[in-house]
Chain A
């Protein structure tokens, strides 16, 4: 008979030797860098083009995201339908995304279809026309979507908390609104596109099962000309104007049965020595299923379906944000418990057993995250776009393996003081 009360032996995850598989770099004839992680195990590939086209660089609200979205909706040769049809026909996905700093186009496809898809991708990136009709449809539909989202307490809370932290004029705190959609104009979008989606601002990341002539193909479609000309994008820091008040309560829906709770504070960016240490403290506090917040507020009290704490990965400066949707009548009790957990981490060292568990959990997750070429290129992309190298990655792992309970307590004493936090409930 086995004794089921005794756990099987485990290898401590901290004893795992994690290596980041290397990434090759090529340069197209016009200078565009191409980063490559190959893997022949599947028949699929991913091709991502990254530009400094995020909201940081827009001079009018929503121009960056609208330009990014509408590039795909018609070139001088093909209508939006023709572009969509040729992507769908080959079972491919062409996703576009606009963030604070960057804007991207990502193609996922079966390797066998790549040569059919590159001409379409080339038109989308090099030759979009921004028609009046496409813009009008976009404006109308985005406004409708916004109207629906504005009824959701979590959506409203996310907008407000970022506004309190960074100010509504900063790209990190600026939010969409009906007027800004109405004010969009095709000329502005086109000008924004022309200035930010240029050959000298482009970086390409490819991963997966690549054809042998991958670089030659990329050269053929993106490497021969100085498309959209050379432009210099300057990224100067912008002033941050946080709210003066710290506590907010908003009634968005009088019949709401839940409230969106946010408790947040500023935190230095990833270049600060405390950042990687805070990743560990934040995991203990609210970063995994067994965290202090989850154990207390969900598993002990049942106030919510889920609660977590995240560290923003913004470039200029960052923030820690605790977020949950809780029962309407337990929102205030939830906030009280959040402060209690912050306080405990300031007062008491994290027990060795718990710290050991969190180290193992974090290393296990990184091991899982590095599984497969798509995930590995993602890591490299984050390093490269933030002007970092693999040492940063290895330093983080070293921090997870070696940080002490004393250091964590010091960190909590520095950053977990309740008075530094903004708090918000939206019902």
Chain B
């Protein structure tokens, strides 16, 4: 059970306080309800580029990092398709420094041309490092494009094309900020040896006078149901053939999500998972194979990804994967196997909750999904799943018409 207090400031900023008096450190986490899915299709990568600019100085504070480091603190941030999250860890005695810094950059950025100029380059290098200069680095660009016709998950968080980042203008930055980086669109979580009264006072003091902003209804294009299998062949300068299969799956907020999450664990979680045991260890067709998904808020993709053993034919490898898929569609999963994946979830949640930072981050995430209290119901959602639920979801999920396959061939 994660204990917390929740209140909302007059300007709409939601504040969650999570007391933990066993640690000398405090966490201040600010999550903004904006991600790559909110981008203009012609200006992709913007939410993430923007995250970089949040460190380029705010209206009253020229340097964000220096005062924080002086207070013994550390910080970082990440952007996903769904959200942007900023977090600080620092000695609890110095917690007000975090309020000062986070509130000033919520009030307004400095909008410095030089900072934009440099961060465009930095993000370009990040793009190259992760997606161009790496074997198989382009596969997710291709897969998203293959699997989505309409929904903005069609592009990666880093952006569809380097040119979108290179073309970003200061006026775009300003517009984006005042549209999305407003109290009404943010969640503040404070964790550590603090009290709700103390946090309330500090939150009012530092965030209370920031103009509320407008809560914009999110009207994203809905991805139509896929009606035919998509296939793509790629040839690239990589040493091994690889197979990627993606199936549209329910979003994070859907009831069916939990069954599908467990299915992915049955197929790909841990060394005893089906795909690893059968395809790597027994049939020796793949040198590694995984099954995973990103837990996106809107309908996402369950992915099976593996590298073929040299000399194995793509068709044979795919057929063997299909046998495992047929099996999970047709046969009821043994009780012990269901219990195994439930135990794995229980343990994973327990280890995740050990860190104060994770707890603070998760409270913000569940609040963004609708209610922080969902965090405390999470495991019971998994516990309630039956083998029939898995059977039913597997049949829908693994419909051939719902599949997207990339055959990634080594050209050497």
- The answer to whether B74 and A4 have CB atoms under 8 Å apart is no
> Which residues of B are found within 8 Å of A290, using beta-carbon distances?
65-66, 69
- A89 — which chain B residues lie within 8 A by C-beta? 272, 336, 339-340, 343
Query: Is B225 an interface position by the 8 A CB rule?
Result: no
Q: Which stretch from B34-42, B128-136, B143-151, B314-322 is at the chain A interface? A: B128-136
Separation of A148 and B288 alpha carbons in the complex (Å): 12
A364 near B: Cβ within 8 Å?
yes
What chain B residues lie within 8 Å of A150 (beta carbons)?
A: 239
Asked whether B91 lies within 8 Å of A137 as measured between CB atoms, the reply is no
* Main SS class of interface, A: mixed
Let me know if B340 and A88 touch, CB within 8 A: yes
Measured in the bound complex, the distance between the Cα atoms of B353 and A290 in whole Å is 29
Q: State whether A356 and B70 are in contact (beta carbons under 8 Å apart), knowing that A151-B239, A371-B356 are contacts in the complex.
A: yes
CB pair A88 B271 closer than 8 Å: yes
Q: Find out whether the CB atom of A110 lies under 8 angstroms from the CB atom of B346.
A: yes
A371 contacts B25, C-beta separation under 8 Å: yes
Which stretch from B2-10, B92-100, B177-185, B323-331 is at the chain A interface? B92-100
How far is the CB of B263 from the nearest CB of chain A, in Å? 15
Residues 237-272 of B, flagged 1 when their CB comes within 8 A of A and 0 if not, give 111100000000000000000000000000001111
Interface assignment of A357: CB less than 8 Å from any CB of chain B: yes
Q: Which of chain A's residues has its CB closest to B120's CB? A: A302
For the complex, give the distance between the alpha carbons of A357 and B65 in Å. 11
Per-position 1/0 for B68-100, Cβ under 8 A of A: 011111100000000000000111011011011
Interface residues in B25-69 by Cβ distance below 8 A to A read 25, 59-61, 65-67, 69
A residues within 8 A CB of B389?
none
In the bound complex, do residue B91 and residue A144 qualify as a contact, i.e. CB atoms below 8 Å apart? no
Checking B91, B99, B237, B351 against A13 with a beta-carbon cut-off of 8 angstroms, the contacting residue is B91
Give the Cβ gap from B90 to chain A, nearest Cβ, in Å.
6
- Find residues 100-118 in chain B having any chain A CB closer than 8 Å to their own CB: 100, 103-104, 107, 117-118
Q: Are A109 and B336 in contact (CB under 8 A)?
A: no
User: Is the C-beta of A43 less than 8 angstroms from some C-beta in chain B?
Assistant: yes
Asked whether A299 is an interface residue with its Cβ less than 8 Å from the other chain, the reply is yes
Task: Tell me whether A372 is interfacial, beta carbon within 8 Å.
Answer: yes
Q: How far is the CA of A81 from the CA of B280 in the complex (A)?
A: 12
Given A151-B135, A258-B133, decide whether A367 and B25 contact each other with a Cβ distance below 8 A: yes
A336 located at the interface, meaning its Cβ lies under 8 Å from any Cβ of chain B in the complex: no
Contact of A80 among B103, B135, B281 (CB under 8 A): B281
A302 touching B118 by the CB < 8 A rule?
yes
Asked if B24 CB lies within 8 Å of chain A CBs, one says: yes
Contacts A4-B60, A91-B347; is A302 near B117 (CB within 8 Å)?
yes
Interface residues of B in 190-226 (CB under 8 A from A): 205-206, 209
In the complex, which of the residues B70, B119, B340, B353 contacts A302, with contact meaning CB atoms closer than 8 Å? B119
User: A295-337, CB under 8 A of B: which get 1 and which 0?
Assistant: 0001111111100000000000000000001110000000000
Closest to A254 in B: B237
Contact indicator A7/B287 (Cβ below 8 Å) = no
Closest Cβ–Cβ distance, residue B57 to chain A (whole Å): 11
Q: How far is the CA of A80 from the CA of B271 in the complex (A)?
A: 9
Bound state CA distance, A359 and B91, in angstroms?
Answer: 14
B: contact size bracket: 35 or more
Say yes or no: B272 contacts A81, CB within 8 Å.
yes
Measured between beta carbons, the chain A residues less than 8 angstroms from B175 are none
A90 touches B343 (CB 8 A): yes
From the candidates A5, A43, A303, name the one contacting B350 in the complex (CB within 8 A): A43
Distance in angstroms from A113 CB to nearest chain B CB is: 8
B373 interface residue, CB < 8 Å from A? no
Chain B residues with CB under 8 Å of A1's CB are 209
Looking across the interface, which residue of chain A has its beta carbon closest to that of B127? A305
How many Å from the CB of A271 to the closest CB on chain B? 28
CB contacts under 8 Å to B, within A140-170, are: 140-141, 144-145, 147-148, 150-153
Min CB gap A71→B, angstroms: 13
| Interface membership of chain B positions 342-385, coded 1 if the CB is closer than 8 angstroms to chain A and 0 otherwise | 01111110110111100000000000000000000000000000
Given contacts A4-B61, A91-B343, A144-B240, contact A84 B271 (CB under 8 A): yes
Task: Decide: A137 near B340, CB < 8 A? Known: A16-B72, A364-B74.
Answer: no
Query: Judging by beta carbons under 8 Å apart, are A257 and B74 in contact?
Result: no
Whether a CB of chain A sits under 8 angstroms from the CB of B122 is: yes
CB of B284 within 8 Å of the partner chain: yes
Assuming the A-B contacts A85-B272, A327-B128, are A91 and B346 also in contact, with contact meaning beta carbons closer than 8 angstroms in the complex? yes
Decide if B309 touches A144 in the complex (CB within 8 Å): yes
Question: Provided the pairs A88-B269, A89-B339, A153-B133 are in contact, do residues A7 and B100 lie with their beta carbons within 8 angstroms?
Answer: yes
Which B residues lie within 8 Å of A151 (CB)?
Answer: 135, 237-239
A4-B100, A361-B74 known; 5 other A-B pairs, CB under 8 Å? Answer: A148-B239, A153-B133, A258-B128, A258-B129, A371-B25
8 contacts between A and B (CB under 8 A): A2-B205, A4-B103, A43-B350, A44-B354, A88-B271, A147-B240, A290-B66, A364-B91
Q: Which B residues lie at the A interface, using CB under 8 A?
A: 22-25, 59-61, 65-67, 69-74, 89-91, 93-94, 96-97, 99-100, 103-104, 107, 117-126, 128-129, 132-136, 205-206, 209, 237-240, 269-273, 277, 280-281, 284, 287-288, 307, 309-310, 336, 339-340, 343-348, 350-351, 353-356
